Chain A
Amino acid sequence: MTAVDMALMIGAAAALALTGMNFRAMAWVMAMAASYAISTAYWRIGMPHGAVVAGLADAAICLGVYFFGRLRWEMHLWRVFQVSVAINVIYLGGEVGTWPELSHNAYSVMLEAVNWAALALIGGTGIAQAIGAANDHPVHSILRPLRSLFRERKTPAFTKVRHLWTK
């Protein structure tokens, strides 16, 4: 395990501790950790096209957040994972020779940044919830801008939209 892995593990543990028993937030942190572990293990045993596995894992989380996420902060998390999938696609395209290749260091740094952004979002939302940003109490008016994070998402998942087939 490298220092980068260790730092990310500590970050994930901190984000997990800050979720305040929000089970969906805990699930997203666990899913992120599993995705990181699977893609890193695949890469380190020397298998080809590691970005495929990393991209598939991130796409699975992305779809999970899209289908099961309920609040607006989860939709921000969905966007963060979309960026992660896009980075994997760009790297993979360069690897197979369709466009100029992205250096592995740049790819790793960008993925790390996305992982930290996701952890910061989950942890930050947990902190905001703990200090009362989700409440409507006037004492918390200073936290009003954060309140939108805890509102219901604007657009539901397409599986929850009722539509007649013979419209």
Chain B
Amino acid sequence: MDEIVTVAIKAAGAASGSALALVFQPPKNKRDFVVRVVFSFGVGLLLGQTIRDEYLHWAQTWETMVAAATITSMASWWVMGAAVRIIGAWKPPKD
């Protein structure tokens, strides 16, 4: 039961991070939107707790869990956007 609650808290944080990132940096098109939402939600869900415990060293409360998942999710949204832009700008050399 505790695990379900923990996952729900992380999912809430990751979802709010994706939503916040959408507010501040909307994607260019629908494909970009889907890619970024899937990536940022997944990263927030999977790495939020690790980021909090290993790097941020925040108190271990459910609020900081949500905050860490939110921040991780937002950061990954921006990272994904930058990566897509860099890959899009890069042209492979001609044969």
Interface positions of A (Cβ within 8 A of B): 59, 62-63, 66, 82, 85-86, 89, 93, 96-98, 157-159, 161-163, 165
Of all chain B residues, which has the CB nearest A49? B63
Closest 3 CB pairs of A and B: A96-B63, A163-B29, A161-B29
B47 at the A interface (CB under 8 A): no
Per-residue CB contact flags for chain B residues 38-76 toward chain A (1 = under 8 Å, else 0) read: 000000000000000000101101011011000000000
CB pairs A–B below 8 angstroms (22 shown)? A59-B19, A59-B20, A59-B23, A63-B22, A63-B23, A66-B23, A82-B24, A85-B23, A89-B20, A97-B58, A97-B61, A97-B64, A98-B56, A98-B67, A158-B27, A158-B33, A159-B30, A161-B28, A162-B29, A163-B30, A163-B32, A165-B31
**B59 / chain A contacts, CB cutoff of 8 Å:** 97
Distance from A25 Cβ to chain B, minimum over Cβ atoms (Å): 21
Q: How far is the CA of A96 from the CA of B58 in the complex (A)?
A: 10
Interface positions of B (Cβ within 8 A of A): 19-20, 22-24, 26-33, 56, 58-59, 61, 63-64, 66-67
**A97 / chain B contacts, CB cutoff of 8 Å:** 58-59, 61, 63-64
Q: How far is the CA of A89 from the CA of B56 in the complex (A)?
A: 17
Q: How far is the CA of A13 from the CA of B67 in the complex (A)?
A: 37
**B30 / chain A contacts, CB cutoff of 8 Å:** 158-159, 161, 163
Distance from B25 Cβ to chain A, minimum over Cβ atoms (Å): 10
Most buried by A among B28, B29, B31, B61: B29
Known: A157-B26, A161-B28. 13 other contacts (CB 8 A): A59-B19, A63-B23, A66-B23, A85-B20, A96-B61, A96-B66, A97-B59, A98-B56, A98-B64, A162-B29, A163-B29, A163-B32, A165-B31
Of all chain B residues, which has the CB nearest A159? B30
A96-B67, A97-B64, A98-B58 as given contacts; A82 in contact with B29, CB under 8 Å: no
Distance from A100 Cβ to chain B, minimum over Cβ atoms (Å): 13
Of all chain B residues, which has the CB nearest A67? B26
**A98 / chain B contacts, CB cutoff of 8 Å:** 56, 58, 64, 67
Distance from B73 Cβ to chain A, minimum over Cβ atoms (Å): 13
**A159 / chain B contacts, CB cutoff of 8 Å:** 30
Distance from B62 Cβ to chain A, minimum over Cβ atoms (Å): 9
**B33 / chain A contacts, CB cutoff of 8 Å:** 158
Of all chain A residues, which has the CB nearest B32? A158
